[in-house]
Structure 1
Amino acid sequence: MSDQNPSESVLVFPCRFPIKAMGLADEHFEGLVIEIVSRHARRPVEADVSARLSSGGKWVSVTLTVEAESRAQLDAIYCDLTAHESIVWVI
């Protein structure tokens, strides 16, 4: 059992933080993820975004690295991503 308070973070802000979202492979999925994350963080540059198709080509994962300013900002990004019907999971 951990003695750490759940409200305490091991992250030190600001920090670079990767966010990965997965959904059905679609030509618009990467843009969708970028648009949602950009509501809360500076729009990522191309070098901070990568996409990878599953071996069968049905799924795509998009990873964005953002400059996170706070835990609240990350929570808002995760809430918006998980609320979208096209996004299956977020880590």
Structure 2
Amino acid sequence: MSEMTEAPKIEFPCADYPIKVVGNNENNFYGFVVETVQIHAPDLDLTKVSIQDSRNGRFQSVRLKITATGEAQLKRLFEDLKASGRVHMVL
């Protein structure tokens, strides 16, 4: 019988916390993601933001790194992104 190990806990504040947001490649998805993230992480460094379109161009992923200050901040950020209806996935 194998032992289950817990995932490592994140220590806050956590600099360069990676987030990937996937949604339809339309209506300035990148701008929407950046504006939403800046509400929760106003010190977002735009040089740490990258965009990748899917093979057929239908979807877009926005990858960024923020300074995560706590679980509550991350929860609110993820909820705001998902509540928009524009985001398919937040990783």
Q: How many Å apart are 1:86 and its aligned residue?
A: 1.0
The residue correspondences of 1:1-91 to structure 2 (distance < 5 A) are 2=4, 10-15=9-14, 16-26=16-26, 28-91=28-91
Measure, in 2, the Cα distance between the counterparts of 1:3 and 1:53: 35
Moved over 3 A (4+): 1-4
AA in 2 matched with 1:56 = N
SS at match of 1:51: strand
Q: Which moved more, 1:70-79 or 1:18-27?
A: 18-27
Q: 8 Å contact 1:34–1:43 — kept in the other structure?
A: no
SS at match of 2:73: helix
Q: 8 Å contact 1:42–1:66 — kept in the other structure?
A: no
Q: CA RMSD in A?
A: 1.9
Fraction of identical pairs, as percent = 33
Q: Return the TM-score normalized by structure 2.
A: 0.85
Q: Which moved more, 1:26-35 or 1:67-76?
A: 26-35
Could you tell me which runs of 5 or more consecutive residues in structure 2 were left unpaired when the two chains were aligned: none
Q: Which moved more, 1:46-55 or 1:18-27?
A: 18-27
Q: Which moved more, 1:68-77 or 1:22-31?
A: 22-31
AA in 2 matched with 1:23 = G
SS at match of 1:39: helix
Could you tell me which runs of 5 or more consecutive residues in structure 1 were left unpaired when the two chains were aligned: none
SS at match of 2:40: coil
Q: Return the TM-score normalized by structure 1.
A: 0.85
AA in 1 matched with 2:49 = V
